[in-house]
A and B are shown apart, each in its own frame.
Chain A
Amino acid sequence: MISYWARKVFRDFRGEILELPTRTILFAAGILLFVLPLLTQDLYLLRVMTLAGIFAVFAASWDLLAGVCGQFSFGHTLFFAIAAYSSAMLNIHSGLPPVVTIPVGAILAVLAGLLLGLPGLRLKGPYFSLASLAFPAILLGVIITFPRFTGGELGLSGISRLGATRLTEYYISQSAMLILVLAIWKIATSKTGLIFHAIREDEIAVRASGINTNFYKMLAFSCSGLFAGLAGGMYAHFMRIAGPSTLDLILSLQIIVWTIVGGIATIYGPVIGVYLLYPLVEFLRVVPQLRTLTFALIVIVVLRVMPEGISSWVQDIVERECPRCKERNSLFRPYCRICNTELEHGKRFRLMKRGA
């Protein structure tokens, strides 16, 4: 029995992961994340990677709302900040541990998601994007007007730690990232996710086929709020401060940059984007004057060369789509791994992709 399961796992592993180069790369990267503390004990690096894990969940939750469901929100920091502030307040005033405060903060973020969903039901496209910009701005005004409860500009500090040591925090963040992103990916590829995709493509057609689009849009908002809220709570407990910086417009735009550079509407794209770009920005500290400029130029060049994001660019290089069954195959296979159709190899890869 055990040997049967072992053989089955190994066979699935070889067939599903080793067969496709992109999946192999992702698998290796996941393994690398978990053995990283064995290779280096650099606390700064661990800190950067912990934050990257938290932001990866945040960016993926934005991708679920914007990339998958098409509700292009500019105010996603609303969820992040509400969860961060509420878990911080709960922790400071009642002394509850992070295990309790983070989910409570996430639930409040779900309520915020329903609130943000109200204009989402009424407004379309760019109108909604700009209207969503209003919510963090208004919340920021509220936070600064009532400094007694919210700490005003300085924010709330003295929050208990996420884990006992840096290493524990690192592992909590990375495993939470894997589990939550997997959950988001499962939602996006489920039947509900299919309806989300359809709403993005043509909302009127979806409504015409008898689906309650208002319900599914609200569902997308609350799911996205839940995951963004979990990320926000983890952020507050990791940084041990919840301040107005969690509401920054720059943070809202940053997750959009990460998502689009990684590849929008893929869920794994934003994670790749965060893990490549966030450490990159941190390590550009060697040129403090030119850091942001270098980052901006890198993003411009990357998007100019690969307008659909890094993940789909790499996929186009190392994989071929079977002309018959549309399954992806490794570059080196002469025949499709599913239907045995001969794959064409004449097509040369174009490095600079033109617009569609």
Chain B
Amino acid sequence: MRQGGAAFSTDCVLRRPAASIYVWETVMRRIAERGIYWKMLEQVFINGLISGGKYALLAVGFSLIYGVARIMNLTHTAFYMLSAFLIFYLHQSLALPLAASLPLSIVAVTLIGLVCYKFIIAPVRERFTTVMILTLTLAIAIQEVILISFGGFFRTLPKVIPGMIQLAGIRMTSQHLLTLVTVSVVLVCFWMLLFKTKTGIAIRAMAMDREAANLMGMPESRIAMLTVGISVGLAALAGAVVAPLYILEPVMWMHPLVVVMAAVILGGLGSLKGSILGAFILAFAEVGLIFLFPHLSFLRGAISMAVMLVILMIRPEGLFGVFMEGER
């Protein structure tokens, strides 16, 4: 507070290791110790997939809600955090089994998201900037509620399935495998919902042209509501699947938010495959940086931003975006 004068101080000291200039030396040593080096690439691969899956789940929801309702939902990752903390609360304080607390928290967070949308966002929906600030303050409010009720400590959850597993020569914990399977199943289900069902067609039509879709008899506000539900549900699910893998803290929404926005922009706004691809690109860039140059892990925000900037400079509309999309 003394230096920043920042209004919402998070009471959390960022933990950045001091910079080192021995990066190249480290790399050379790693390459010399070849065994460790290949193990490390495996780890980069697994962790990149996990983190990419998490970002993809978040980015798809973010992209969907932007496409259909034109809401830049900065609360998105706060719901992800809320779901993780709710699981922690249900599991540790109420002593419910994990299998029960996971779905319970997803449902609860989705309901919270719908209530927030209905009473706070929907009435002022047409004003883009106002909605953005409302969602931002909502995220800060959620962060503060968590900070007050759980304190600023770092928390961990037990794994759903303990133990390690050997798969195609790669060793990983069963929890990692479970997360990977869940993420891919959910993404496939989501794709089926959007492209194979009538509701999905309505959602995509609404994203393409709201007025025309409305004239074709699609109930605008109901579909927006449904989209918000799906999107928040996906965020809550992302929180639920990675909660046992990551450390829970009340500012864990900030970094994913930046990465998710970068991924969505990188892939092209309104393009689902673009969002997923963008999420994986950024996740691999980030995980690669952290594993190969641990000294520079404080640059992880900068690296995803730099990747996004380079790609945007080459393709201003993102990888799969439509040029002049805003003019529609």
Contacts and interface: CB of A to CB of B under 8 A. Distances in A.
- A-B complex is real: yes
A131 B16 contact: no
A124 interface: yes
The 5 closest A-B pairs by CB, nearest first: A134-B305, A245-B4, A141-B302, A293-B144, A296-B141
A109 interface: no
Contact of B7 (A131, A278, A308, A354): A278
Interface string B308-322: 110011001110010
Contacts of A245: 3-4, 6
B72 A126 contact: yes
A257 B133 contact: yes
A303 B134 contact: yes
Interface stretch (A145-153, A161-169, A335-343): A145-153
Interface in B262-316: 262, 265, 269, 296, 298-299, 301-302, 305-306, 308-309, 312-313, 316
Given A239-B3, A304-B124, A355-B126, A127 B148 contact: no
Contact of A126 (B123, B269, B309): B269
A295 B262 CA distance: 28
Interface residues of B, number: 56
A119 B311 CA distance: 12
Interface in A273-319: 277-278, 281, 289-290, 292-293, 295-297, 299-300, 303-304, 307-308
A123 B316 contact: yes
B8 interface: yes
Contact of B8 (A125, A243, A296): A296
A241 B145 CA distance: 32
Contacts of B317: 127
B285 to A, nearest CB: 13
Contacts of B138: 296, 300
Contacts of A299: 133-134, 137
B78 to A, nearest CB: 11
B6 A303 contact: no
Contacts of B141: 293, 296-297, 300
B169 interface: no
Interface in A190-238: 204
Chain A interface residue bracket vs B: 35 or more
B121 to A, nearest CB: 9
Given A134-B302, A141-B298, A251-B6, 10 more contacts: A130-B265, A137-B302, A155-B3, A239-B3, A278-B7, A289-B148, A293-B141, A299-B137, A303-B134, A304-B120
B258 interface: yes
B162 interface: no
Contacts of A125: 326
A249 interface: yes
Interface in B94-127: 120, 123-127
**Most B-side CB within 10 Å, residue of A119, A257, A277:** A257
B302 A292 contact: no
A250 interface: yes
Q: Interface on chain A toward B: helix, strand, loop, or mixed SS?
A: helix
Nearest to A258: B7
Contact of A293 (B148, B299, B313): B148
B127 A308 contact: yes
A18 interface: no
29 contacts: A119-B312, A122-B312, A124-B326, A126-B66, A126-B72, A127-B269, A127-B312, A127-B317, A130-B265, A131-B265, A141-B298, A141-B302, A147-B18, A245-B6, A248-B4, A248-B6, A250-B7, A251-B6, A254-B8, A257-B7, A290-B144, A290-B148, A296-B137, A296-B138, A299-B134, A300-B141, A303-B137, A307-B127, A307-B130
Interface of B: 3-10, 16, 18-19, 66, 72, 120, 123-127, 129-130, 132-134, 136-138, 140-141, 143-145, 148, 254, 258, 261-262, 265, 269, 296, 298-299, 301-302, 305-306, 308-309, 312-313, 316-318, 321, 326-327
A267 interface: no
Given A257-B133, A292-B144, A122 B313 contact: yes
Contact of B299 (A141, A248, A281): A141
Contacts of A130: 261-262, 265, 308
Contact of B302 (A124, A138, A253, A260): A138
Interface in A246-275: 246, 248-251, 253-254, 256-257, 260-261, 264
Nearest to B302: A141
B136 A253 contact: yes
Contacts of A354: 123
Contacts of B124: 303-304, 307, 355
A356 interface: yes
A333 B265 CA distance: 51
A79 to B, nearest CB: 17
